[in-house]
Structures are given as structure tokens and as C-alpha cells.
Amino acid sequence: MSIENIHHSYLSLVKNGSSQELRAVANDTAAGTLTEGISIYTSNTKERLVATLEAAFPVCKKVVGNDCFQAMAEEYALQYPSEEKSLYHYGAKFNQFTDLIIKTNEQFYNVAYLPDLALFEWKMHLSFFQKDRTAFDFDRFANLEQSQLSKIVFTLSPDIYLLETQFPVAIIWELHEINEPFKKAIIEKGKECYLIERPLYKPTFTHLKRHEFDALTKIEAGFTFENLILSFGNFETLVTEFIKNGWVNGFKNGLETT
């Protein structure tokens, strides 16, 4: 059996509890010993995945409580076993998972913000592991001809993530930072726009105004300088501020990138 097939057999074992495939691969006559070993290995795998989720979503854990989060994380690990070598990206679907829980379990009605909070924490988590920023190349930008300038596409710094939510999830995150109790907080629904970044060593966030969020979203989508100026009358002022803040750190023209 190939390594790839062994890997898929192990994923099936973690998710479905079947050990026949791996027993055949191991070619061990001591079935009981092998079964016990596989049980320990799969248990350790689930515990590692749960610990990874706890590290990525600490505020979600605090909101629902240790026992509830443990049960949620174990179920998520069963439904979505890790298929990558690195666990840094494990948990990408956790906000969708919590959204389904909220929609199908009435007892979660007072934490309806949980999926948005999970997405906020996930983007904070991703920002932390992104590579460092590079400086904007002002000299190259200044040497662009007018015909080239209109066609360039600005690029966001690698640690930048944009998020529009239905709840003020940053308030919850800040309460966590100062260890305030969540159950006493009244969380009202209302659209919020955030920029998540890691300018130094720790991810943080900025509240964005609607037009700032829309402009950054269009930059992320690849709108040209020309189209952005047509969309936003003050775009030159906006992009100057974005560059100053380190949010925009480059530009590209066709296949050429900085």
C-alpha cells in the first residue's frame, strides 16, 4: 500500500473508527496489541486537534465554557480530520461549523455571534503566521508612466485580513484581553468592518469606516488604479493613508509584481 493510501486509511480510522485497513498494513499477528496501539494513536491525534482549536479560538472557548468547547472541538475533529502536515491552518471551517450549531440548537440563541467571533479569531490566527511586510517601492512607483499608472493593481500586505461582521466581535475580543466576564455583556447586532493586521509581533485590529473597507476590499479584489479612482473620488488620499499605515505595500502591472 502506498504512503498516500496509508494516509487516507488513517484519516478514515480517525473519522470512522475502522482499523482494518491499518491492521492489514501493519501485518501484525498480535491483533489485540495493534488495536490498543491504534486506539492510543487516534486518541492522541484527536487530543492534539482539540488543543490546536483551543489555541486558535481561545475567546470562543471562554464564551461557551470549557466543557462545551471541548465537545464542539471533538466533533469538529471527527468531521474535519487534519489533512495537512502543519496544524497552523487547522480550523479553517470552524466558523461554518459553529454557524450550523447556532442554527440547529436553540440553547445557543444568546451566543448567536459565535460564528462571527470564530471567523474574527481565525483571521487573527492567520495574520500571526504570515510573513513580514516589505516596504513600498516609492522609487519604482514614481518612475511609472501615466499609461502604466492607470493600469496598476495595488497589493495588500500579507498580514492584512478584512472582515465584515453582523456583531461587534472586537468588543468581545477586547473583553477577553482584560479578562472581563462575557456572560454579563450585552451583545447587540450591528454591522462592523474590521482590518486585522500584525504590524509587529502580535495581531491587532482597526475599526474601518465603510468607504475605507470598500476601498480595501476592491484593492484585494484586484481593481486597477483607474477603476478605483472612478469608484472613490478621494482614492488618492485613501491609498496614501493605506500606504502610510503599511496596509498597502506594493503594486503589480500584469504579471509583474513587487
pLDDT in tens, the chain (258 residues): 555 665 566 566 555 555 565 555 555 545 555 555 555 455 567 889 999 999 999 999 999 999 999 999 999 999 998 877 678 889 999 999 999 999 999 989 889 999 999 999 999 999 999 999 999 999 999 999 988 999 999 999 999 999 999 999 998 888 876 665 555 455 666 789 999 999 988 999 999 999 999 999 999 999 999 999 999 999 999 999 999 999 999 999 854 444
Helices 169-177 and 114-128: angle between axes, nearest 10 degrees:
60
Same domain membership, residue 65 and residue 12: yes
HSE-up of residue 237 (Cα within 13 Å, Cβ side): 5
What are the grid coordinates assigned to 241, written together?
A: 493613508
Question: Where does a domain end: 64, 82, 112?
Answer: 112
- Amino acid (1-letter code) at residue 23: R
184 vs 10: CA distance, rounded Å? 44
Residues 137 and 223 reside in one and the same domain: yes
Same domain for 252 and 140, yes or no, is yes
Strands (E), 42-165: 153-156, 161-165
Grid cell, residue 76, equals: 469538529
117, part of any domain: no
- The single-letter DSSP state of residue 166 is S
CB hemisphere CA count around 60 (13 angstroms): 32
Q: Residue 210: inside a domain, yes or no?
A: yes
CATH of the domain at 150: 3.90.930
Question: Do 57 and 155 have their domain in common?
Answer: no
- Are 139 and 252 part of one and the same domain? yes
Number of domain units in the chain: 2
Q: Output the CA–CA distances (angstroms, integers) from residue 220 to 8, 11, 21, 143, in the order listed.
A: 35, 35, 45, 24
